[in-house]
């Protein structure tokens, strides 16, 4: 009697595999997400799995000649900065972001710039009709003739068109709508389909030296939807971030095999599409209050780029048994730690106060140099005294209330001086190692006590 084929199940949310069906996934803890995995198609005699490269035997690493590494500019200086100087040929780039944030608009503008430079570009959409894309294209401007549009979800048909057209750049919008017959009869967007489609696109990108942009959806937690292997297979992962009520958008790199992952690009959404914001610091500080308490300017580093931001704090007495604390653009847990330091080391009784922290412009900051600015904003709001408008402040705060050094202080001071700030409050240890920059006055502080004396 023939042995029955083994049946396996997988979680459609995270890709966890099991030998039997489960009500709750042990990995992501979601309910009723298990589905039966389709059986792999049988290979005929002499058939082999597709390979990325033509080499079938090991090659000595000393005999390999590396590629030139020439980068192709996208026509957007902000995007080139995030990518590390431009597009690397044969790379697979994943672009994710919230619905309606502008992913398709950004890539359509990149396609327009690449086509204008002489490249043959293919834009594949599985979510919109040609007329819908044409309406968005008309708002952006005139497009060259060598930009082709294909509305299709069948990967086999897309491969046929790619072989006939032989484009230099391909955009897939989006990966969750593509369907491959090799993955079996599961629905598009499932773990099996996403893995199979990404593998095929990776083979096309590496084998044909074609740049492939892939649009990916994100979950409500802000992570890329689909299996985690999707981010491991691609060369670059870009996140397009921003608030729905703000016109500014931030392009951030989470993975980049050809450059740094610390750079950001700032864009502004307008009626004609997305435009670069070369002087992001001035844009973020626009509309700052004249003499409002709780407002402090900090210089944050995003990769090698200094960025001046306004940190706002609102501290008021609470009528609740447990005071309310909120943070937008900054780590909520870090705010609680800094308030505990100010109460313990600085003697500020805020255990019965509500506290709200906001970083203007819709920017999310993670670096510790924000600590001193957040403390200064909290003190300013608690005492209802305005901080000096012409002063920029940055530094890390420890649990003992000490102010620690931060990196790249010279670049931060140069950016502050360029925008007309007269004074900078920095860690005392960094002041000794930092040469004065022009006319800007440098004030060194050792602990939060010194900051309290400044307000």
Q: What is the CATH number of the domain that holds 77?
A: 3.40.50.300
- In degrees and rounded to multiples of 5, residue 251 shows phi and psi of -100, 120
Residue 50 lies in a domain: no
**Residue 6 scores a pLDDT above 80:** no
Residue 45 lies in a domain: no
**Which pLDDT belongs to residue 362?**
76
Least reliable range by pLDDT among 79-83, 99-103, 389-393: 99-103
In our burial notation (b when 16+ CB lie closer than 10 A, e otherwise), range 165-196 reads eebbbbbbbbbbbbbbeebeebebbbbbbbbb
27 shares its domain with 80: no
Residue 25 lies in a domain: yes
What's the CATH code of the domain at 294?
A: 3.30.230.10
From residue 397, alpha-carbon distances to 210, 360, 371 in Å are 47, 21, 6
**Which pLDDT belongs to residue 121?**
96
**Which pLDDT belongs to residue 100?**
84
**Which pLDDT belongs to residue 184?**
66
**Which pLDDT belongs to residue 192?**
77
**Which pLDDT belongs to residue 82?**
92
Model confidence at 54, pLDDT cuts 50, 70, 90, reads low
Highest mean predicted confidence (pLDDT) among 92-101, 394-403, 426-435: 394-403
**Residue 209 scores a pLDDT above 50:** yes
Domain count along the chain? 3
270 shares its domain with 192: yes
229 shares its domain with 348: no
**Residue 412 scores a pLDDT above 80:** yes
Structure tokens at 325: 């604390």
The predicted-structure confidence for 100-118, as pLDDT tens digits, reads as follows 888 999 999 999 999 999 9
- Bigger pLDDT: 98 or 192? 98
**Residue 57 scores a pLDDT above 50:** yes
**Which pLDDT belongs to residue 45?**
46
- C-beta of residue 177 within 8 angstroms of C-beta of residue 189: yes
**Residue 1 scores a pLDDT above 70:** no
Residue 304 lies in a domain: yes
307 shares its domain with 377: yes
Residue 159 C-alpha from the chain's centroid: 29
**Which pLDDT belongs to residue 51?**
54
288 shares its domain with 188: no
140 shares its domain with 188: yes
388 shares its domain with 441: yes
Identify the domain boundary among 244, 278, 312: 278
Sequence-distant (≥ 6) Cβ neighbours of residue 267 within 8 angstroms = 78, 102, 106, 248, 249, 250, 251, 274, 275, 276, 277
The boundaries of the domain holding residue 404 are 283-454
Cα separation, 223 vs 217, whole angstroms: 9
Residue 51 lies in a domain: no
Identify the domain boundary among 261, 278, 295: 278
129 shares its domain with 273: yes
**Which pLDDT belongs to residue 47?**
47
In this prediction, residues 261-276 reach a mean pLDDT of: 88
Residue 57 lies in a domain: no
29 shares its domain with 90: no
In this prediction, residues 84-93 reach a mean pLDDT of: 92
299 shares its domain with 394: yes
Neighbours of 374 (CB within 10 A): 27
In this prediction, residues 302-307 reach a mean pLDDT of: 83
145 shares its domain with 183: yes
Of the chain, the percentage scoring pLDDT greater than 90 comes to 47
152 shares its domain with 227: yes
Residue 55 lies in a domain: no
**Which pLDDT belongs to residue 267?**
92
Least reliable range by pLDDT among 182-191, 237-246, 258-267: 182-191
Residue 56 lies in a domain: no
**Residue 388 scores a pLDDT above 50:** yes
């Amino acid at each position: 009697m023939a042995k029955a084929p083994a049946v396996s199940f997988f979680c459609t949310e995270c890709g966890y595999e099991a030998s039997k069906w489960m009500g709750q996934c042990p990995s992501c803890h979601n309910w009723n997400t298990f589905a039966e995995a389709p059986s792999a198609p049988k290979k005929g005699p002499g058939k082999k799995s597709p390979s990325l490269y033509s080499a079938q035997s090991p090659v000595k690493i000393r005999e390999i000649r590396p590629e030139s590494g020439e980068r192709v500019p996208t026509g957007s200086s902000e995007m080139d900065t995030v990518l590390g100087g431009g597009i690397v040929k044969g790379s697979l780039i994943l672009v994710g972001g919230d619905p309606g944030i502008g992913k398709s608009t950004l890539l359509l503008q990149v396609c327009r710039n690449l086509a204008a430079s002489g490249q043959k570009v293919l834009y594949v959409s599985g979510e919109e009709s040609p007329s819908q894309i044409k309406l968005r294209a008309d708002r952006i401007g005139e497009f060259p003739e060598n930009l082709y549009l294909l509305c299709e979800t069948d990967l086999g048909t897309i491969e046929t068109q790619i072989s006939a057209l032989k484009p230099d750049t391909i955009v897939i919008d989006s990966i969750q709508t593509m369907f491959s017959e090799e993955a079996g009869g599961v629905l598009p967007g499932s773990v099996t389909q996403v893995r199979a489609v990404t593998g095929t696109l990776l083979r096309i990108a590496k084998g044909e030296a074609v740049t492939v942009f892939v649009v990916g959806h994100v979950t409500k937690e802000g992570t890329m939807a689909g299996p985690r292997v999707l981010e491991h297979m691609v060369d670059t992962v870009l996140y397009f971030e921003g608030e729905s009520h703000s016109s500014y958008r931030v392009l951030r790199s989470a993975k980049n095999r050809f450059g740094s992952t610390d750079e950001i690009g700032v864009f502004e959404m307008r009626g004609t599409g997305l435009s670069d914001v070369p002087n992001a610091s001035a844009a973020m500080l626009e509309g700052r209050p004249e003499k409002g308490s709780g407002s402090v300017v900090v210089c944050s580093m995003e990769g090698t780029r200094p960025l001046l931001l306004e940190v706002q704090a609102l501290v008021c007495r609470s009528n609740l048994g447990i005071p309310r604390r909120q943070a937008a653009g900054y780590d909520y847990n870090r705010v609680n730690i800094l308030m505990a330091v100010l109460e313990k080391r600085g003697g500020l009784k805020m255990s019965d106060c509500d506290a709200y922290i906001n970083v203007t412009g819709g920017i999310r900051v993670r670096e510790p140099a924000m600590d001193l600015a957040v403390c200064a904003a909290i003190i300013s709001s608690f005492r209802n005294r305005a901080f000096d408008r012409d002063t920029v402040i940055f530094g890390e705060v420890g649990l003992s209330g000490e102010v620690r050094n931060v990196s790249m202080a010279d670049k931060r001071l140069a950016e502050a001086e360029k925008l007309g700030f007269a004074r900078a409050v920095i860690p005392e240890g960094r002041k000794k190692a930092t040469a004065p920059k022009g006319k800007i006055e440098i004030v060194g502080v050792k602990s939060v006590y010194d900051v309290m004396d400044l307000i």
